[in-house]
Structure 1
Amino acid sequence: MKKNKKTHSNKPVLIDLFAGAGGLSIGFEQAGFKLVAATDWDHWSCETLRANHRNVFVAEGDINEVDLNDFAGKLSADEVDLIVGGPPCQGFSALGKRLKSDPRNQLWQQYMRFVEYFNPKVFLMENVPELLKSEEYVQIKRAAEKLGYQVREKILFAPDYGVPQKRRRAIILGSRIGEPKFPKPTHLLPGQLTLDNYRCVPWKSVRDVIGDLPLEPDGNNWHVGRNPTEKSLKRYKSVPPGGNRFNLPQDLMPDCWKRKKTGSTDVFGRLEWDKPSLTIRTEFFKPEKGRYLHPEAHRPITIREAARLQTIPDSYVLKGSHLEVAKQIGNAVPCELARNIGEELLKLFSTDSDSIKEKRIYRSTGFERLLAYQQP
């Protein structure tokens, strides 16, 4: 690669794979990294990335078809210090019934193709917790270790890091500049606060992040929601704080719910002001999909409220229709979780000795070599 590009010597350089709207990128840039490139197949996610990162190369399309030599030639830096990304997880998700044959289960191979080629000092892969119990994770770890990385994995609980949302994510770290470490919790459930963890503060609540927004959506900066039918509005009004579909009177309950007297207590659930929300998914605007009714107003949460529960800054530009933006928000990694991880990883770079700061060599070996890592 030609060495005539602008470098970012004061900040470690980052590539975000399967970036979506950029939740990981937001957090890592807040922590002190510099994003230079991102990939995603979804058009509107890429438009969101372009709107917020004018000087970042965004590769839109199937990652299987990315030519790495061409990709490297479009970067605004000569070196890549960190690769982050979350290969699509539907095939591993408990919600998706863990489909072993799902082709998305193999997208980790494309992630590792980038790691092999760019040879970053550190990489981060995030996914659903179920990934860590899979055969694919055994293969991921084996491939990374053969490339010279120390690999560590952990399931992080987002409320412990300032995210007002009960979301668990598997985080896989690989480093060739020292043992990668995970951040210590910054927030705890109030009853867990002791003299030993006195530096922590209580979990953030729904009230902490959306309490200042108008109860009646004003349409400003994505503070918009659905227009409910008369029957839907009656249903919303029947659910008390912390309640759910079991609070609906018989005349408002769908027949399928009447027949199913057991099941999830989150369906048609109402959030509580002074607790974190449950996981924000892509259809948070549909209370029949989960606990997404506003704590007080008789409506589902708005797009802006969901974005705040994901700790996406109000200033971050979101592109696309309401449905497309909702999908981007639900698929994002909470930015505050990413920032905490980024700040911990930044310590590896700050202690990186001159002996480790070798000249970076991009690898030109083929994908066939990576596939061989699946064999013991």
Structure 2
Amino acid sequence: MRTVDLFSGCGGMSLGFQNANFEVISAFDKWEPALKVYKENFDHPIYDFDLSTDESLKFIKNLKPQLIIGGPPCQDFSSAGKRDETLGRADLTLSYANIVAECEPEWFVMENVQRILKSNILKEAISIFKKAGYGISYEVLDASYCGVPQSRKRFFLIGHLHSKDGFLNPYLTKNKTTKQMTIYDYLGKSLGVEYYYRHPRSYMRRGVFSIHEPSPTIRGVNRPVPKGYTKHSGDIAQIDENLRPLTTIERSYLQTFPKDFKFIGCKTDLEQVIGNAVPVKLGEYVANCIIEYIEDKKSNNIQNSGQLELEYA
């Protein structure tokens, strides 16, 4: 299936779908540090395009994609951002929807933060998808139940032309693991630590974590243990000279990038590139759910989806 990745970042979703044997033919982004990393790791081209323009829409339409994937910028919805839809970045979600509606791929997959569910922009985007003839499924997935050693919750909206709403939800649900994946499950003792520091947004929260639990969400910042850090009641190890944050590359492993994936650039940029990425195995999880649905449809073995009651309708 010819696949195009919009707002691709460094390529987490591209690699996930590629691992599931989708043919990713091109990607698009506008941030130079992410573009550099993507170019270093994929054979197909990535384009530095403003995806809100008519020119970019025409270019993508000429590629004749069968599947469009991507995660429009989420800062205006994110708990770490200003949460202000009027700042303009949220409009790129509508740009994504308009590109899909104009190009009419058979499938699309849009990823974002969980908080987008509370936004007006999502309602507008869904309206565009519905008018273009797409049935949609959406789900907030906790990556730690989808092959990723990280408690990262992300919203996925999947569209398929002429399908009923909710068509993919049974697959997104049934393929989850029954227990969360821990760092130890995924990497064993290869990090060389039992405990590590992850800087909290507020000192009301814990900062010390164990490899025998999923990592908290990998963010775009990575700080050392502050001098005078006081042990939080939830911290499960002592604060001493052996306690350290994970390195930039170790954090990429928790995003399930393979060890041969090349990260080039300055440390500050790479921390953000990695933190912004879709975990590779999470993208692969969604890709495999789509494959299973297609195979079941071919064999007339489609599960009863129970059509969604959509709140925006």
TM-score computed with the length of structure 2 as normaliser: 0.81
Measured against aligned partners, the alpha-carbon deviations of 1:109-134 in whole angstroms (never above 9, x if no partner) come to: 21123212321111111111111121
Q: Identity percentage over the alignment?
A: 28
Measured against aligned partners, the alpha-carbon deviations of 1:74-108 in whole angstroms (never above 9, x if no partner) come to: x4xxx311111111111011222421322111111
1:14 and 2:3 aligned: yes
> Which one of the candidate residues 210, 230, 246 is aligned to 1:272?
210
SS at match of 2:139: strand
> Which one of the candidate residues 130, 138, 141 is aligned to 1:153?
138
Aligned to 1:300: 245
1:181 and 2:168 aligned: yes
Deviation, 1:303, is 1.5
Which runs of no fewer than 5 residues in structure 1 stay unpaired?
Answer: 1-11, 190-202, 217-239, 247-261, 354-375
The answer to whether the Cα contact below 8 Å between 2:79 and 2:115 also exists between their aligned partners in 1 is yes
Measured against aligned partners, the alpha-carbon deviations of 1:239-273 in whole angstroms (never above 9, x if no partner) come to: x9589999xxxxxxxxxxxxxxx85313xx11212
1:99 and 2:84 aligned: yes
- What code does the residue aligned with 1:99 have? D
1:137 and 2:122 aligned: yes
The answer to whether the Cα contact below 8 Å between 1:44 and 1:320 also exists between their aligned partners in 2 is yes
The answer to whether the Cα contact below 8 Å between 2:30 and 2:50 also exists between their aligned partners in 1 is yes
Name the CA distance, whole Å, in 1 between partners of 2:35 and 2:21. Answer: 22
Q: Root-mean-square deviation (CA), in Å? A: 3.0
> Which one of the candidate residues 16, 19, 24 is aligned to 1:35?
24
Aligned to 1:233: none
Deviation, 1:352, is 6.5
Name the CA distance, whole Å, in 2 between partners of 1:309 and 1:146. Answer: 38
> Which one of the candidate residues 180, 186, 199 is aligned to 1:209?
186
- CA separation of 1:187 and 1:121: change in aligned 2, threshold 3 A: same
Name the CA distance, whole Å, in 2 between partners of 1:80 and 1:352. Answer: 21
The answer to whether the Cα contact below 8 Å between 2:6 and 2:27 also exists between their aligned partners in 1 is yes
The answer to whether the Cα contact below 8 Å between 1:210 and 1:305 also exists between their aligned partners in 2 is no
Alignment of 1:353-372 (within 5 A): none
Deviation, 1:305, is 1.4
- What code does the residue aligned with 2:248 have? I
The answer to whether the Cα contact below 8 Å between 1:209 and 1:308 also exists between their aligned partners in 2 is no
Aligned to 2:308: none
Deviation, 1:299, is 1.4
Name the CA distance, whole Å, in 1 between partners of 2:261 and 2:197. Answer: 32
Name the CA distance, whole Å, in 1 between partners of 2:198 and 2:3. Answer: 42
Name the CA distance, whole Å, in 2 between partners of 1:294 and 1:333. Answer: 28
Alignment of 1:222-371 (within 5 A): 264-266=204-206, 269-287=207-225, 297-350=242-295
Name the CA distance, whole Å, in 2 between partners of 1:52 and 1:305. Answer: 18
Name the CA distance, whole Å, in 1 between partners of 2:101 and 2:131. Answer: 10
- What code does the residue aligned with 2:50 have? D
How many pairs does the alignment contain? 283
SS at match of 1:324: helix
TM-score computed with the length of structure 1 as normaliser: 0.68
Measured against aligned partners, the alpha-carbon deviations of 1:172-215 in whole angstroms (never above 9, x if no partner) come to: 111115344142243223xxxxxxxxxxxxx2212233444353
Deviation, 1:71, is 4.3
Which runs of no fewer than 5 residues in structure 2 stay unpaired?
Answer: 227-231, 299-312
